[in-house]
Amino acid sequence: MSAIVKPMITLKEICTEAETIRLTNQNSLGDKIVSDIYVNAEIIASLAVTRKISEKPSLDSRLDDILTSRLFGFPIMLLLLSTVFWLTITGANIPSEMIGNALFAFQDQLVLWFNLAGAPDWLTGVLVLGMYRSLAWVVAVMLPPMAIFFPLFTLLEDLGYLPRIAFNLDNMFKKCQACGKQILTMCMGFGCNAAGIVACRIIDSPRERLIAVLTNNFVPCNGRFPTLIAIATIFMGGIVASEYQTAIASLVITILVMLGIAITFAVSWALSHTILKGETSSLVLELPPYRKPQIGAIIYRSIIDRTIFVLKRAMIMAAPAGAITWILANVYIGELSMIAHLAAWLQPLGYAIGLDGFILLAFILGLPANEIVVPILLMSYLSSGQILEVDSLNQLREILISQGWTWLTAVCTLLFCLLHWPCTTTLLSAYKETGSKKWTLLTFLIPTVIGFAVCFTVAQSARLLGLV
């Protein structure tokens, strides 16, 4: 609706009034102008109103009153987060087992073909037992969770719920002098931290964009979920009946995610008060209307643009890591393999933070791809010289306990998995987005220092209190 509002007084009248005031030595000209401005504003506002007061609020407004309220907004967010994790954990088990059986069966055929071709054992080991088997593990443990998580995430995005999350957390980010849009980049980080860093482009302020890049790793990516799920299910879910294991594991992972978000706030606040000082930009966020999900678009964006994209980059990084791991496990110095020597060298540092040398070495060798941390660890423990396939979580639990794992080892491993350095793909994305070696180095150092500090504090406190 448009309307032409006639001014209450003309320019000639204003000049006449001003001259009168000047001659009579009065000081009410400013009050007169302000009064007329308010009168005109009231007329414009009355003409611009298109909805009557008595009209019932729309469905979108009623939903927003619930989803963005201080009373229900955060509990609903936590409930949705736990539900997504529960569906991901529950739904990924059977497909992971089926894919793993098929890929590992094909490995036996590859070994047969290499033997028929007369290939030396070392070549078969590097290419098949190292590279191929690591690729098979990454696909088996990473593809099913991503194929479930990304569509669920895209569904929430398509419904229009993600901007409501940004609205709910905007005030907390403002207190940290960061941008509310950072929560959207964190949501992308659940799938892949590299994708989350690329998503930081939506933040206009260079200072706040850097804060989002430097803290994105505190959100666990899809590559870390297999490790988190396995350990949480074995050691935390194992204390209850089997039918409740998945629920307990989902709850533990939700708590870990909330811890990561809390650390994100703390680090964002620290950065904005030290090396990245500056004024907080205003978040002008127009909440979009709720939309009916487009199933075709959801499948395409979640599978093609996200799942396949992330899986491809993980496979590229996992292949050379598998080859290097096989070489380290099969080259001996004296009576011990190189991998055993490295683990012994790392043992004091690993013990100080509640781990052991083999666990710490597995995280180091897993730098190219977080998905291969557990298989590298099993290979190191069992001195098999190749990445192993474990048939069940019970078998994995027996192996870990036989290697001296306690509840403290499990807790510190979960914390270190949550907080440790980014993978190679994420670091390369940080360098590409920032164009700076300094900021890329800080992207590596900040979570690394925090991860060591948190695990050291937990481990030493537990030992001083005699809890282990």
Query: What is the C-alpha separation between 121 and 370, in angstroms, rounded?
Result: 28
pLDDT score for 363: 93
pLDDT for the residue numbered 4: 43
Q: Looking at residue 19, what is its pLDDT?
A: 64
* Cα 169 from Cα 158, distance rounded (Å): 19
The mean pLDDT of 83-87, rounded to a whole number, is 82
Question: Taking the CA atoms of the chain, what radius of gyration do you get in angstroms?
Answer: 29
Average pLDDT over residues 68-72: 82
At 164, list the tokens.
């409501």
Q: pLDDT-based confidence at 413, cuts 50/70/90?
A: very high
Phi first, then psi, for residue 332 (nearest 5°) are -105, 145
Percent of the chain with pLDDT over 90: 21
Q: Give 96-110 as a DSSP string.
A: HHHHHHHHHHHHHHH
Whether pTM exceeds 0.85: no
- The pLDDT of residue 211: 93
Q: State yes or no: pLDDT of 373 exceeds 60.
A: yes
pLDDT for 409: 94
Find the range with the poorest average confidence among 3-17, 322-336, 369-383: 3-17
Angle (CA) 359-407-365 rounded to 5° is 10
Residues 80 and 123: their CA atoms lie apart, in Å, by: 48
The larger pLDDT score, comparing residue 419 to residue 248, is at: 419
What number is the average pLDDT over the span 20-41?
A: 61
| Residue 332, helix vs strand vs coil | strand
Looking at per-residue pLDDT, the higher value among 398 and 113 belongs to 113
Where are the chain's structural domains?
11-55, 73-464
Share the mean pLDDT of the chain: 81
From residue 355, give the alpha-carbon distance in Å to each of 1, 201, 342, 358, 365. Answer: 68, 37, 15, 8, 15
Q: Per mean pLDDT, which range of 280-289, 398-407, 412-421 is the poorest?
A: 280-289
At residue 3, the pLDDT reads: 44
The sign one gets for the Cα dihedral 459, 461, 462, 464 is: positive
Letter string b/e over residues 447-467, b meaning 16 or more CB atoms within 10 A of that residue's CB:
bbebbbebbeebbeebeeeee
DSSP assignment letter at 119: -
Interval 210-267: pLDDT, tens: 999 999 999 988 778 878 888 888 887 666 666 677 788 888 888 998 999 999 999 9
Burial grade of 399 (CB within 10 A; 0-12, 13-18, 19 or more) = middle
- The CA distance from 337 to 347, in Å, is 15
Q: Which of 156, 151, 162 is nearest to 185 (CA)?
A: 162
Q: Are 31 and 39 in contact (CB under 8 A)?
A: no
Those residues with Cβ within 8 angstroms of residue 224's Cβ, 6 or more apart along the chain or in another chain? 370, 417, 418
The proportion of the chain whose per-residue pLDDT surpasses 70, expressed as a percent, equals 83
pLDDT confidence tier of residue 376, bands split at 50, 70 and 90: confident
Cβ count near 405 (within 10 Å):
19
pLDDT at 152: 84
**DSSP line for 51-74:** S-TTSPPPHHHHHHHHHTSTTTHH
Q: Residue 162 phi/psi, 5° resolution?
A: -60, -40
Separation between Cα atoms, residue 359 and residue 129, nearest integer Å: 21
Banded pLDDT at 328 (limits 50, 70, 90)? confident
Q: Looking at residues 400-422, what average pLDDT do you find?
A: 92
**Of the given ranges (58-72, 271-285, 377-391), which has the lowest mean pLDDT?**
377-391
Q: Give residue-wise pLDDT tens across range 142-162.
A: 788 778 877 887 888 788 887
**What's the pLDDT score for residue 195?**
81
